[in-house]
Each structure stands twice: as C-alpha cells, then as structure tokens.
Structure 1
Amino acid sequence: MNNAIVFLLLLSFVAANLPWFSERFFYVLPLKHGKHLGWRVLELVVLYFVMGGIARLAEGKVMGQAAAQHWEFYAVTACLFLVFAFPGFVYRHLWRR
C-alpha cells in the first residue's frame, strides 16, 4: 500500500475523532453552555470536507491529475468517515459517563 494512502487514512481517522475530545468549538472557541451533539456533528461535517480537500490535493500531487468522482464515491467516503468517528463517539457518550 502506498505511504500517501496510509498517511491520509490515519489523518482521516484522527480528524474524525477530533470533535469528540474537546469542549471547545474547533479546539479554539469556548462555548458558553458546552458543546452539544449538534456542534460536534457540524465539526464532523466540516472536517470531512477539509479532509476531502487535502485528499484531492494529495491525489493531484501524487497522480498528477485528480480523477472525477460521482455521488457514490462521496457517499462511501462519508460513511467511512462516520465509521472512523465511532471510537470518539463511544468515548464521549457511552464509555466516559
């Protein structure tokens, strides 16, 4: 397996779990009443698109040209990102209490 692919998968795993480990919005802005599930899901969606941009740039650098993708690709990668976020969700909402 290509080192770039492994690095992107590990980076995606870390990014998917970031919203669950802090009470600050994007680790910067403190929220007055804490961070509820809606803020965490918003962070997760934004991080999905950030990781998509990073992967697109990496594909362009490694392969020379980024391939066109259809909706099926984005559906699968969004589900994979949600699966990557599962350990952080379990830690925050099921295990920590």
Structure 2
Amino acid sequence: MTVSMYILLLLAFIFANAPFLTPRLLGIFALKHKHFGHHLLELFTGFGITAGLAYLLESRAGSVHPQGWEFYAVAVCLYLIFAFPAFVRRYFWHGRNRE
C-alpha cells in the first residue's frame, strides 16, 4: 500500500466519526438539537467526499477500473464499520453517563 492509501483510510475514519463527535451540522452550522437524520446526512456527505478523493487518487495513478455494485456495498459497509466507535460513544455510553 502506498502513503496515499493510508491517508485515504485515515480520512475515511475521520469523516465517518466526525458526525457523532460534534454538535454542529457538517462541523459548521450550530444546531440546537442534532437528531439521527442529521448524522445520516453527514455520513453520506463524508462518504461522497471520501469516494471522490479515492476516484481522484486512482485516476492520477493510472486508469480507473470499472466497479460493480458489490464494490460499493463493501465500501459502504467498511465506512459504517469505521463510524462504529463514535456511534457507540454518542448513543450508548454518552447517554448513560448523563444520568
């Protein structure tokens, strides 16, 4: 693996966890209450940025290989696995410690 691949994986991990760590929408707009729909919107946005960056890196390295639906299903599942630590902290641990 090259350095750019490691950087891409690190950015994917950061983008996947960021929605659950900040009370702001996309890290910019302050919200009074951020519900699960906002988290999903941020997850899809982060996945789009990560996928776009991956496409850019692949096109700079050579020809872009065509991908089927299986590739995208695995990529979404991997992205959701990356989001799991912050999701657990936000919805399971954080709620218990407030009481």
Residues in 1 aligned to 2:28 and 2:5: alpha-carbon distance in whole angstroms: 29
Residues in 2 aligned to 1:23 and 1:4: alpha-carbon distance in whole angstroms: 30
Residue 93 of structure 2: aligned partner? 95
Secondary structure at the counterpart of residue 67 of structure 1: coil
Unmatched 5+ stretches in structure 2: none
Residues in 1 aligned to 2:15 and 2:29: alpha-carbon distance in whole angstroms: 17
Residues in 2 aligned to 1:44 and 1:5: alpha-carbon distance in whole angstroms: 20
Superposed CA deviations along residues 38-73 of structure 1, whole A, max 9, x for unmatched, are: 1101110111111100000011112x2211111110
Residues in 2 aligned to 1:65 and 1:46: alpha-carbon distance in whole angstroms: 25
- Structure 1 runs (4+) deviating above 6 angstroms are none
Residue 25 of structure 2: aligned partner? 25
Residue 47 of structure 1: aligned partner? 46
Quote the sequence identity (%). 42
Residue 83 of structure 1: aligned partner? 81
Residues in 2 aligned to 1:16 and 1:27: alpha-carbon distance in whole angstroms: 13
The residue identity in structure 2 corresponding to 1:60 is S
Residue 8 of structure 1: aligned partner? 8
Unmatched 5+ stretches in structure 1: none
